[in-house]
Amino acid sequence: MQIKKFSAPTLKEAAQKMKDELGGEAIILGTRMIESPRGTDGNGGRIREKLFELTAGIEKDQGLPFAGDRNKSALNMKQKSLNAGMIKEESTLNSNANYENEIAQLKDMIYKRRQAPLPLKTEKEAAASSVSKKISEVNDSKPAAPEQDPATLELKKIFGTLRHRDVQKSTLKVLSGTLGNYRSLLNTSNAESHVLSSIASLIPTNKLKLERNKKAKKVALVGPTGVGKTTCIAKLSVISKLIHNLEIGLISIDTYRLGAIDQLKIFSEISNIELKVAYEAKEMPDIINKFRKKDLIFIDTAGRSQNNVQQLYEAKEFLNAARVDETYLVVSSTSSTKVLLDVFKKYKVYNFNSVIYTKIDEAVTFGNILNAAVKKNVPVSFLSNGQVIPDDIIAADSEFIANMIYTGKINK
């Protein structure tokens, strides 16, 4: 990937410089303010000018991995998309050169950090794994009663590890219930993989279908300030457009926070994805009508405090007027279980269909995801694992999340 920095007095000018030099497919990787010396004042002091610096990236044209093998490229890409849980229609896999080029450019960028979810261990592998090393992590496991059998002891150790990962006692009770069905089959070597399967069974997932639609599908992202809604929309839009060849429209109703629209505006200019801004709920039907030929419309909402119910209802009016098809609640995985449950409760007014957990790269444990799944039973759609557009997003997979919860690591 070719990375280049562009600076100018406004973001728009910096973006234009980037577009002129790298073309329409360059992706913004980051922006920041810098100071550049503009000369000296009369006293010999330096005059400094504030500039926006934009870091952009584009795949190099030379040496593209699939440049000479288009069919293979399309098939591999399809496989990758399916692996990531994205559903795509065969008919969209045309071999037109432009599309292939775009795919080749993005091939290594999209989902490169995602590995296929780890298969749950076979009994043999589980036996080989030294579960004993986890004993040291268990702070609160008490010495076993003499009558306890080895499988029960093993389960105790595993539950101790889960407690360490911030899984609540009430959640472990539910987990214990689901494990109960296999109780007679459990032994020291298969206990871990049974627990992982049971955790996975408690985490429903929901895939966003990225496919051509006769009628534009309207998807809204809601959630507290700064959790990563706009970033997620940018990632999902780029993936939908370049991998799935879909027509995308963006609507921002983020009229509350100064600068928030600029963020999406710049993204829209760079990615060539049309953006419209709604300032009042009654504008929504007209905007939706203008986007009627699109396949997918992403609606970005203001990141307002969930403690201001009035503000939540205002945004809800916009979404009602747009007649949204799917609403995702975006939450930071670094939140405590208490905060997560509070957000779920406050955002209930939106009737959200599923959850996107962001900032999993910053979280220390993931027990909160299991606690929330057990208490609320809302499916998870995506995990966001960084700031890079569009790389850092993973389509949710129950077993992958179960592994995260148990090990405390991503892609163990």
Ligand X SMILES: Nc1nc2c(ncn2[C@@H]2O[C@H](COP(=O)(O)OP(=O)(O)O)[C@@H](O)[C@H]2O)c(=O)[nH]1
Q: Which spans of this chain sit near Mg ion (rule: CB under 5 A)?
A: 229-230, 260
Nearer to Mg ion, 229 or 316 (CB): 229
Which of 242, 244, 301 has the alpha carbon at shortest distance from 273? 242
Does 33 bind ligand X (CB under 6 A)? Our answer is no
Does 225 bind ligand X (CB under 6 A)? Our answer is yes
Dist. CA 87–CA 90, nearest whole Å = 10
Secondary structure class of 59 (helix, strand, coil): coil
Nearer to Mg ion, 195 or 260 (CB): 260
Q: Using CB under 6 A, which of 196, 227, 374, 402 touches ligand X?
A: 227
Query: Tokens 């069974």 label which residue?
Result: 201
Identify what 268 binds: Mg ion, ligand X, none; CB under 5 to 8 Å per kind.
Answer: none
Give the nearest distance from C-beta 10 to ligand X in angstroms: 19
Give the nearest distance from C-beta 396 to ligand X in angstroms: 14
Dist. CA 231–CA 246, nearest whole Å = 19
Nearer to Mg ion, 191 or 253 (CB): 253
Q: Interface residues for ligand X in 377-396 (CB under 6 A)?
A: 384-387, 392
Candidate segments 60-68, 229-237, 320-328, 338-346, binder of ligand X by CB under 6 A: 229-237
Q: Count of residues binding ligand X (CB under 6 A)?
A: 17
SS (H, E, C) 370-412: HHHHHHHCCCEEEEECCCCCCCCEEECCHHHHHHHHHHCCCCC
Give the nearest distance from C-beta 234 to Mg ion in angstroms: 10
Q: Using CB under 6 A, which of 57, 85, 160, 228 touches ligand X?
A: 228
- Which residue lies nearest ligand X, judged by its C-beta? 228
Contact 392, 235 (CB under 8 A): yes
Query: Tokens 């909402």 label which residue?
Result: 301
Candidate segments 110-118, 225-233, 289-297, 321-329, binder of ligand X by CB under 6 A: 225-233
Give the nearest distance from C-beta 303 to Mg ion in angstroms: 5
Does 361 bind ligand X (CB under 6 A)? Our answer is yes
* Alpha helices, H only, 202-290: 229-238, 260-271, 284-290
Nearer to ligand X, 230 or 353 (CB): 230
Candidate segments 42-50, 103-111, 138-146, 356-364, binder of ligand X by CB under 6 A: 356-364
In this structure, are strands 2-8 and 46-58 parallel, antiparallel, or unpaired?
A: antiparallel
Dist. CA 224–CA 401, nearest whole Å = 23
**Cα angle vertex 194, ends 188, 200, to 5°?**
150
Name the β-bridge partners of 354. 328
Does 262 bind ligand X (CB under 6 A)? Our answer is no
Identify what 405 binds: Mg ion, ligand X, none; CB under 5 to 8 Å per kind.
Answer: none
Lookup: tokens for 143: 């010495």
Does 57 bind ligand X (CB under 6 A)? Our answer is no
Q: Using CB under 6 A, which of 73, 105, 231, 268 touches ligand X?
A: 231
Give the nearest distance from C-beta 311 to Mg ion in angstroms: 14
Edge-first strand order for the sheet with 46-58 is: 2-8, 46-58, 27-40
Dist. CA 382–CA 102, nearest whole Å = 23
Q: Which amino acid is at 113?
A: R
Candidate segments 40-48, 92-100, 173-181, 220-228, binder of ligand X by CB under 6 A: 220-228
SS (H, E, C) 176-197: HHHHHCCHHHCCCCCHHHHHHH
Q: How many CB atoms lie within 10 A of CB 93?
A: 18
Give the nearest distance from C-beta 133 to ligand X in angstroms: 29
Query: Tokens 């889960």 label which residue?
Result: 162
| Residue 181 CB burial class (10 angstroms; 0-12, 13-18, ≥19) | exposed
Does 303 bind ligand X (CB under 6 A)? Our answer is yes
Give the nearest distance from C-beta 116 to ligand X in angstroms: 20
Give the nearest distance from C-beta 257 to Mg ion in angstroms: 7
Give the nearest distance from C-beta 277 to Mg ion in angstroms: 13
User: Which positions touch ligand X (CB under 6 A)?
Assistant: 225-231, 303, 358-359, 361-362, 384-387, 392
